[in-house]
Structure 1
């Protein structure tokens, strides 16, 4: 390697933002740890587990919403942006959590939900009080059509129309989600300034950034035209104002402020070309985006229509995003979150090869270029839950889908429930499984949603005591990202793109080349690998090392070539 090449690599490392080496851990507070026995997780419970997260090695905790909320959408319907819901604790509890996390070198990122508020927010109470109220234009109000129907035929992401008639004023308000979640009108500069002021106050309190919920929906296509298909997002996402809004947010909230912050925008329907613009540092919008292409490949006509995964399509999709953001911008890497089924049940084998497939996908995902996100329980290989009746489910999306499919479309309850089993968000929201005691050590009371019945065998305590610990494997992966510049910054190249069971790729930086080979199958791998491993150094694998052994079922290995 020439001196010039060495210097270029060193300069690249020095210029790379801190989050290129970071790993984010998402906490769903309601289901993480309950400190007071009321059956609902809370901030003190999270604080009690900071040692566990520090042992894992994560750099950032992303908190799903803890603001006051009527909980129609489990906290994503916010009544007050400036406080903490009493079920989770108080502002003093929040301050303690931030201080103790910071003392352990862990940052705290909050969920920012500003496409919509709760219909119990003071802003909406004023807005709906009369057509002349000063806050009337803070939300999307429209008169009925001549026949009294809604302004257009948009449908909500949670089933049913996206417009609800308010009897007080005789006009409809827009809600792209539940009717209790009216959409804010970001066309109004007063709305934007109120949001920015709120964000600044949380940063002043010590918060280290924001995960921005459905942030590309804030820019509506203001013509409100008919004819958009449900779920496509074409009618209301990515309005032409979106880049102006995000650049203004950056100027008003982050510019000139000391500190190292993280901003990630959840963006349904975003393309690679869009993501390059959103995450280009020169444009000062967001650091990275959450996109949904790869977690939509195993759905048919709608989310709950589960179809077999096209593994080759998944590899191709992730590789396209790697290539698309190779020169400008940055990837966020995830296969689990609070809105997705459990990784090991969806993409792996959660029966015979639960540990192996959980660790295989961990190695594959964390060795891509981008910032990895771990969802609580992923690090011990938690699985989907199969409640036998819809009465055991709590998520508004699943409940509305079930009611609509059974009552309006006369579908068989068993087939609808099968879709909820496969794709329902409650799969990710059952309580964290800490140990084999009652309710998995999550609470001493009655949990708000039942614990997965497999907790006596599958829990953090038993996993960490195991000779094949998923937790320990994640810990090693996180350490690799911290220590190895090629893992954090190296170029990505997909190998054997059309192979039906092999996931193989390289990461390279300067003279170092790392190779991942993974057998995504219940059967031993047969055939030649696309890299020569004869003289390679095995850095990490999810099976006990055996010389010259072909890849076993769900085996993944990382080599230095």
Structure 2
């Protein structure tokens, strides 16, 4: 291994697990850490590099773990710290890295810090959260609105002040401008890295700092879209995306650099996410990578949508390294959004090959390898606080968080011995793991084949990307690293297209999704070609 070896995370495939919904080991209807550990061989068999675990920390679960009451302990519904240590050890035995969620923008109202902070105006943690006096008429200090609806301020009679919350009122905003608060965050980072964690996914990082002057946000122009929340009526100029966030991330990076081979990825949403992702990952002093919502809420996936997102990340010095996801716990299942009028299985095959060919890191959401569709959750079974508050205009996130289908012949598809916390998807039974394991041509086996292709190709994993001129339905690009060149072509339209690149004879087909033949591309099809050079990866560490 040389000093020029690439870090393990560059070009990695990361598999997101939502712990509540992956596997229940103790029969309470809620997934847990022991259930995940029991299924790690399955995850490793996919060919992924790492697992991202959504929050499992101690929490009252108002927002299902994104409201943390103890950053350094496991919530009892998921197990214990010993269970977590066992999970990490087993994952490392199988060659899997562990990435965990971190939520630094806010805590739970039940966190000890907030309990102390709200007790008086002069206690040691009085300014660890964002507090403000009311206006003379008693109304909130400014016009900021929360993501989940209503003002971003809640009155607290004990202090005679309002506290800020970007999301639920039970998620008070940390005052991350404060050096003392930052130091406690650094202690939390070290706690988990010392336990063998390989990296962090940092939640809602652009919500982590506010304008200390508490200036009003300006109104947003009407773009013709339905606005379901007051939050949508503002440009969040002052309530989020403060210019000090990149400076804070430089301090975070200094902590990470105390350890070897660790990884950071930020979640960045909002209207200006591209600019922020680049600021958060610039150079070698901040985070390793970031991902946004380019595809997670896209109602359709077109060649234009893809190319617009991808060209924003050129292979230039200090330009940053992107990450991409088609699905996650906050967005509807992609096949239900995009496979309109197309066979879902065929669409999922094309989508999986496409994701594996993108330049950057890629994220798979649990069950995406099975082609799971969105589940329609009736109102009486909803758990998602945002969906409940904005019913029926906000699509429930619960429909993408339903239990993993392990066995088609089990009452709850092998997820649990009792009724799960969310309903089982009726369409998921035929897509269960045991069914697809028994079918060599299944999407599950296809996913393994696709990831093997990516893992064996330096061009796909870490190479450059160059787009080719093609009909509007097609996305065509070359990937290259040293003397290896790959050509990737995908038909994202609803009609068959015939197209041929220059010097077509030099391309040798490798892997095709759909009946691609003689440069004729049916709808929802894709193919990869290779020419020249070996496909071996550069050394990694």
Query: What is the TM-score of this pair, normalised by structure 2?
Result: 0.90
SS at match of 2:124: coil
Describe the superposition over 1:41-83 as per-residue Cα deviations: whole angstroms up to 9, x where unpaired.
0001000101101111111111000001111101100011111
SS at match of 2:412: helix
Indicate conservation of the 8 Å contact 1:119/1:180, yes or no: yes
Distance of 1:444 and 1:219 partners within structure 2: 43
Distance of 1:554 and 1:161 partners within structure 2: 44
Distance of 2:502 and 2:144 partners within structure 1: 50
**1:471–1:281 Cα change, 3 Å:** farther
Indicate conservation of the 8 Å contact 2:34/2:79, yes or no: yes
Verify: 1:393 aligned to 2:363, yes or no: no
Aligned residue in 2 for 1:542? 513
Verify: 1:381 aligned to 2:384, yes or no: no
Indicate conservation of the 8 Å contact 1:111/1:212, yes or no: yes
Verify: 1:429 aligned to 2:401, yes or no: yes
Map 1:8-47 to 2 at 5 A.
14-47=4-37
After alignment, is 238-247 or 443-452 more displaced? Answer: 238-247
Indicate conservation of the 8 Å contact 2:11/2:461, yes or no: yes
Map 1:288-303 to 2 at 5 A.
288-298=289-299
Q: What RMSD, in angstroms, separates the aligned Cα atoms of the two structures? A: 2.1
SS at match of 1:108: strand
Aligned residue in 1 for 2:288? 287
Measured after TM superposition, the shift of residue 469 of structure 1 is: 1.8
Distance of 1:535 and 1:170 partners within structure 2: 74
Describe the superposition over 1:360-415 as per-residue Cα deviations: whole angstroms up to 9, x where unpaired.
1111122111011111000111111123x32222111111111xxxxxxxxxx5xx
Measured after TM superposition, the shift of residue 273 of structure 1 is: 4.1
Distance of 1:313 and 1:220 partners within structure 2: 35
Map 1:248-287 to 2 at 5 A.
248-251=251-254, 253-257=255-259, 259-269=260-270, 270-282=272-284, 284-287=285-288
After alignment, is 96-105 or 507-516 more displaced? Answer: 507-516
1:233 aligned to which of 233, 236, 239: 236
SS at match of 1:492: strand
Map 1:300-449 to 2 at 5 A.
309=300, 311-323=302-314, 328-349=319-340, 353-387=343-377, 389-402=378-391, 416=393, 420=395, 424-436=396-408, 437-449=410-422
Distance of 1:535 and 1:209 partners within structure 2: 41
Distance of 2:295 and 2:427 partners within structure 1: 28
SS at match of 1:82: strand
SS at match of 2:127: helix
Aligned residue in 2 for 1:513? 485
Indicate conservation of the 8 Å contact 1:322/1:492, yes or no: no
Indicate conservation of the 8 Å contact 1:22/1:481, yes or no: no
Provide the aligned length of Structure 1 versus Structure 2: 516
Distance of 1:315 and 1:267 partners within structure 2: 18
Aligned residue in 1 for 2:529? 559
1:242 aligned to which of 230, 242, 245: 245
Distance of 1:397 and 1:366 partners within structure 2: 32
Which structure has more helix as a fraction of its residues?
1
Indicate conservation of the 8 Å contact 1:233/1:268, yes or no: no
Aligned residue in 2 for 1:528? 499
Measured after TM superposition, the shift of residue 202 of structure 1 is: 0.9
Aligned residue in 1 for 2:108? 118
Distance of 1:221 and 1:327 partners within structure 2: 28
Measured after TM superposition, the shift of residue 326 of structure 1 is: 7.4
SS at match of 1:179: coil
Indicate conservation of the 8 Å contact 1:79/1:117, yes or no: yes
1:480 aligned to which of 447, 453, 460: 453
SS at match of 1:94: helix
Indicate conservation of the 8 Å contact 2:296/2:325, yes or no: no
Aligned residue in 1 for 2:177? 187
Unmatched segments (≥5 aa) in structure 2:
221-230, 532-541
Describe the superposition over 1:275-308 as per-residue Cα deviations: whole angstroms up to 9, x where unpaired.
33322343x210001222444554xxxxxxxxxx
Map 1:42-57 to 2 at 5 A.
42-57=32-47
Measured after TM superposition, the shift of residue 462 of structure 1 is: 1.4
Distance of 2:345 and 2:129 partners within structure 1: 48
**1:341–1:104 Cα change, 3 Å:** same
**1:133–1:327 Cα change, 3 Å:** closer
SS at match of 1:35: coil
Distance of 2:494 and 2:415 partners within structure 1: 33
Distance of 2:277 and 2:493 partners within structure 1: 32
Distance of 1:287 and 1:354 partners within structure 2: 34
Distance of 1:509 and 1:153 partners within structure 2: 51
**1:157–1:97 Cα change, 3 Å:** same
Measured after TM superposition, the shift of residue 537 of structure 1 is: 1.4
Describe the superposition over 1:15-62 as per-residue Cα deviations: whole angstroms up to 9, x where unpaired.
432212421100000000001110000001000101101111111111
Distance of 2:80 and 2:68 partners within structure 1: 16
Distance of 1:325 and 1:394 partners within structure 2: 44
Aligned residue in 2 for 1:218? 208
Aligned residue in 2 for 1:301? none
2:56 aligned to which of 34, 54, 66: 66
